[in-house]
Amino acid sequence: MMAVWIQAQQLQGDALHQMQSLYGQHFPIEVRHYLSQWIESQLWDAIDLENPQEEFKAKRLLDSLIQELQNKAEHQVGEDGFLLKIKLGHYANQLKSTYDRCPLELVRCIKHILYTEQRLIREATNSSSPVGGMMDSMSQKYQQINQAFEELRLLTQDTENDLRKLQHNQEYFIIQYQESLRIQAQLSSLATLPPSDRQLREPALLSKRATVDAWLTREANTLQKYRLDLAEKHQKTLQLLRKQQTIILDDELIQWKRRQQLAGNGGPPEGGLDILQSWCEKLAETIWQNRQQIRRAEHLRQQLPIPGPIEELLNELNSTITDIISALVTSTFIIEKQPPQVLKTQTKFAATVRLLVGGKLNVHMNPPQVKATIISEQQAKALLKNENTRNESSGEILNNNCVMEYHQTTGTLSAHFRNMSLKRIKRSDRRGAESVTEEKFTILFESQFSVGSNELVFQVKTLSLPVVVIVHGSQDNNATATVLWDNAFAEAGRVPFLVPDKVLWPQLCEAINMKYKAEVQSNRGLSEENLVFLAQKAFSSSSNNPDDYRSMTMTWSQFNRESLPGRNFTFWQWFDGVMELTKKHLKPHWNDGAILGFVNKQQAQDMLMSKPNGTFLLRFSDSEIGGITIAWVAENPNKAGERMVWNLMPYTTKDFSIRSLADRISDLNHLLFLYPDRPKDEVFSKYYTPPLSKAVDGYVKPQIKQVVPDFATANPDPVGGNPTYMDQGASPAPVNHSHTYSMYPAMADPVLDGDGDFDLDDTMDVARHVEELLRRPVESQWGGQQS
């Protein structure tokens, strides 16, 4: 099959123009030309653009593309080769700079180019056979946008030709008009001549004047028609421009902003702005060309006023084109990198704002300054209603002014605020039960600049996503809940910063699953069983049927204002504790599927009782924020032949900072199989800490190990022999199907709560306890040697 690029180069007319419009700074046509074979041999379609985990594949392709370009550059020789070498090297740097942070955008761009070329070739050859697959919906949408740009280009070229023709005809009209004035002057001068001379010359001049005046009358009507026709064509162009601008600004750019908002909850990256910028630049270029044409038409009208409706029409066109360019400039002043949405005072933070049309409109020739201010929700509402806020702010930001910089290689105009810090915050009166971590602010970025030799002056403003201001790290989890709810459930075009008070449970599941996968950095999200467990916790329900929860709603109060029944924490606080623990200490085990996690005590007991002794599972503590416990099945030491489920006191971050989960599991010899039947070493051995090295300089390094006193033996089923600590200690009652058990009697120990889990506030320090356990055998050993 002939290469796509070879066929693409044979396209003619409109198809060729459409193909050429695919290329620009975002992807130069020279790169397509010199790397055509390599580009067409890559598996671009194998990369899922909606899956952020595919980014590493896209990064490999970007690196390979740059390497291919550099290799091609190095092999250029001769005088022409020298220039090409420099050019290809420049393109390599440009592509790296453009796509290094968003390699999936490169894949999106090249897929779009290849799909479009293939479609153009199919249409040109009238072939029904696909050349490498069908266009996806994204490419179809891009193609519609590109086709509209091609139509706008042709319309603008047509009006340019008409304008030149009008100007030429008007110039000739003025010459003829001057001729008419000259004839009139000659006729006037005849009065000074003798009557005989006047009679001799006057008829010829009168006849000539009549001819010229008749021509001028006809031509004046023709010029007026030309002007009206041109104005009508401009009206059509502006109508299409508005439509195209609406698609790009109100659909594509708004979708990008929505993706950016969801990325704040851990959704896929919003993607680069380069394709959007290329569209906005084409809009700016087309608008500016038409604006200049309308102004030239107005100049021609002033040069030669002819009575009629054209003056009003031109005023209307000028007003419309100014509105269009104003909307474009103000809408494309955007926040490329949002400030953190949980903002701690006295802490450095960053943000980046960008003007997508800045390079095309030469705004950088007089670089504008951008100012950042923090404002309240009420001030944001007033700002959007154009009410006078008298430059009010709700706090003081240090380093809040920044000059926009133009980056030649990427053609971007942006301001990077690198060292902002919120020095103080002024809070408003809160409503009802609202806490400080539910109060929303926003960072207002504003600037002013001129376009076209100060012809147009723009004041631009843009608001960041809502931010919650905290003064202490302990407020972080509640502030994160406010941000999560806002990012997930905000509706487009809302009044700042209204969100629904309640949402359907499946909607909330989608939001917390997105957050969980991002925080834990895992492809393994929450399963349907996990979500049922969470629904049971959220709604105090016992139903195991997912369908029972699909139409249920959860209010903001249930999510993070009211404590769970019998607990002193909210649903979100518990879930956030699980995420934090998993992110910091359990990530590999969660990814391996070793942690069931979202299982309650009764479920754990039911699952384990059908398994051999020594089978264990890992579940998140119900009663502890950020706790995980081990449940295992073993013999009841007080009743031969009876088995029971034991639960270990929950581990928290503090415990894992002393000894890892894998090492703790390794220490406990009575744990044999991870539920359902996997030998524990097969699952966890790759995470065990290697044995300590030999003594150095005569010193032996001590080692911390975990011991469960009742099970401090290598034998999970002790039979006979000397009595163990477990034989002598208090034992739980026999198991039944309505209870599960802790290591100690549920009612006898004052440090246990009602569920039999430990309350860490009332227990001894874990490290001291471990050291004490380690000390005992060492003392007895040395004591034995001394005696």
The three-point CA angle 705-710-715 to 5° equals 80
pLDDT in tens, 34-47: 888 888 888 888 78
Read off the pLDDT band of 138 (50, 70, 90). Answer: low
Give 581's DSSP letter. H
With 0-12 / 13-18 / 19 or more C-beta atoms within 10 angstroms meaning exposed / middle / buried, residue 180 is middle
645 dihedral zone (left: phi>0; alpha: psi -120 to 50; beta): beta
Residue 661: predicted pLDDT: 94
List, for residues 349-374, the tens digit of each pLDDT value.
999 999 999 888 888 778 899 999 99
Largest CA distance in the chain: 161
Instruction: Read off the pLDDT of each residue in 576-597 and give the average, rounded to a whole number.
Output: 92
- What's the gap between Cα 634 and its chain centre? 49
Distance CA 112, CA 501 (A): 41
pLDDT tens digits for range 212-247: 899 989 999 999 999 999 999 999 999 999 999 999
Question: Where are the chain's structural domains?
Answer: 4-101, 139-277, 338-427+434-499, 503-687
Segment 365-424, tens digit of pLDDT: 788 999 999 999 989 988 888 766 566 788 999 999 999 998 877 788 999 999 999 999
**Cβ contacts of 2 within 8 Å, gap of 6 or more:** none
User: How many C-beta atoms surround the C-beta of residue 451 within 10 A?
Assistant: 19
User: Which pairing describes strands 643-647 and 628-635: parallel, antiparallel, or unpaired?
Assistant: antiparallel
Q: What are the structure tokens assigned to 634, written together? A: 């073993």
What is the rounded CA–CA span in Å between residue 432 and residue 31? 61
DSSP character string of 586-633: IHHHHHTT---BS--HHHHHHHHTTS-TTEEEEEE-SSSTT-EEEEEE
CATH number, span 338-427+434-499: 2.60.40.630
CA dihedral 354, 358, 360, 365 (to 10 degrees): -140
Other C-beta atoms closer than 10 Å to the C-beta of 270 total 20
CATH (residue range 4-101)? 1.10.532.10
What pLDDT is attached to residue 230?
95
Domains 4-101 and 338-427+434-499 share a fold: no
3-state SS of 750-761 is CCECCCCCECHH
Examine the pLDDT at 529 and tell me if it is beyond 80: yes
Confidence of residue 441 (pLDDT cuts 50, 70, 90): very high
For the record, the structure tokens of 496 come out as: 């700042």
* Sequence-distant (≥ 6) Cβ neighbours of residue 192 within 8 angstroms: none
Give pLDDT, residue 2. 54
CB 256 within 8 A of CB 276: yes
| pLDDT for res 232 | 95
Paired tokens of 458 = 């723009």
Nearest to 156 by CA among 300, 50, 294, 6: 294
Residues 342/467, Cβ–Cβ less than 8 Å = yes
70-74, 241-245, 265-269, 450-454, range with the lowest pLDDT: 450-454
Show the tokens assigned to 52: 């952020």
pLDDT of residue 431: 65
* Residue 757: pLDDT band with limits 50, 70, 90: very low
Beta bridge partners of 443: 374
Closest CA to 403 of 461, 442, 448: 448
* Side chain identity at residue 117, one-letter code: E
3-state class of 697 per DSSP?
Answer: coil
Retrieve residue 780's tokens: 């007895």
Contact (CB, 8 A) for 553 and 503: yes
Calculate the average pLDDT of the chain.
83
Cβ(96)–Cβ(266) under 8 Å?
Answer: no
**What length is written for the chain?**
787
User: How far, in Å, CA of 212 to CA of 221, rounded?
Assistant: 14
Band of residue 430 on the pLDDT scale cut at 50, 70, 90: low
Predicted confidence at residue 734, as pLDDT, reads 34
Measured distance CA(328)–CA(246) in Å, rounded: 10
Class of domain 503-687: mainly alpha
State which fold the 139-277 domain adopts: Glutathione S-transferase Yfyf (Class Pi); Chain A, domain 2 (1.20.1050)
